Amino acid sequence: MPRLEPAKALGCLVGLAVCEALARPNLGDISSKTSLPEGLWGDGTSMALSLAESLIECDGIDQRDQMVRYTSWFRYGYLSSTETCDYIDEVVKQATLRFERTWNPEDESQTQGDVCLARVAPVVLFFSDSRESMLEACASSTCTTHSGPQSLDACRLLAAMISEALEATDKAQVLRPALPRDLCPEVEELRSGSSPTAEFPACASLGAAMDAFRNSDSFADGCLMCLPHGPRAMAAYGQLAGAWYGLDAIPEAWRQSLARFDLLDRMGNLLLKG
């Protein structure tokens, strides 16, 4: 892949953070012209930044280092929007507690969930030179907390779509990316355009994000379409649409009211240099 366009690459991270901020409870009525009342992003963005920092400082995948950073966020609010961990997904909480007990960085219980969708963009940006390496790294980073095949393959599909969105000019191509290996049936159905199964949270959330991306013509319109489907669908949509539309297409009122924008910008630029 040619060198990534910075505005589109940064759109992935900022899109994620904006969409998590939009998905916070009790936000009230929101439009593309109104500021985010608090501008606080959630647990997915905190983990994405932790993963990004690990990739940069370790020059690649180091599962134990990733779990150390997730634990620092959980215990001390490291790389959060509020400098506290005000919410943690139960699956991730149990994974960090397991890691503290055993020092084993991998989930070995076929755990399912959808918060793993929120931390895909850093891997795509860091491994942008090789689709195969990027997908392997995506699986390795995902299975620290979620090793269920549907969760793993949902993250692989999202990674491939983000990669396409950074370069492609056709939405249909983005939504049906080429992959070097078969996906599990539930995720392959998403890639083929079928409705997602509600049985697996990652499939349901990713399917909602794909529908919002497919059926909208702007970052903001897709956000409002995706919002009823919850924060994990919004996190997946924000990364995908941010890569497609780019940073400047995210409404200015949302970008300017986002907490710790300088941190997101700095981490994105470091990923691109990696």
What are the structural domain ranges in the chain?
6-273
Mean pLDDT along residues 203-222: 97
CB neighbour list of residue 194: distance below 8 Å, 6 or more residues apart: none
Average pLDDT score over residue span 186-196: 86
Provide CB contacts within 8 A for 33, sequence distance 6+.
251, 253
pLDDT at 274 (0 to 100) = 62
Give the span between the Cα atoms of 222 and 56, in whole angstroms: 31
Judge whether residue 195 has pLDDT over 80: no
CB 90 within 8 A of CB 106: no
CA-atom Rg of the chain in angstroms: 17
Confidence of residue 231 (pLDDT cuts 50, 70, 90): very high
Reply yes or no on whether the pLDDT at 174 is more than 90.
Answer: yes
Q: 228: which 2 tokens?
A: 């009823």
Q: What is the pTM for the complete model shown? A: 0.96
213, 242 contact by CB (below 8 A)? no
With pLDDT > 70 as the criterion, what percentage of the chain qualifies? Answer: 98
| Residues 243 and 165 sit within 8 Å (Cβ to Cβ) | yes
Mean pLDDT over all residues of the chain?
Answer: 94
Pick the more confident residue, 182 or 249.
Answer: 249
pLDDT > 90 in the chain, percent: 84
pLDDT bin (cut points 50, 70, 90) of residue 2 is: low
The tokens of 31 are what?
A: 């439009």
CB atoms within 10 A of CB 266: 13
Task: Please provide residue 158's backbone torsions phi and psi, each rounded to the nearest 5 degrees.
Answer: -60, -40
Q: How far apart are CA 81 and CA 18, in angstroms?
A: 12
CATH topology for the 6-273 domain: ADP-ribosylglycohydrolase fold (1.10.4080)
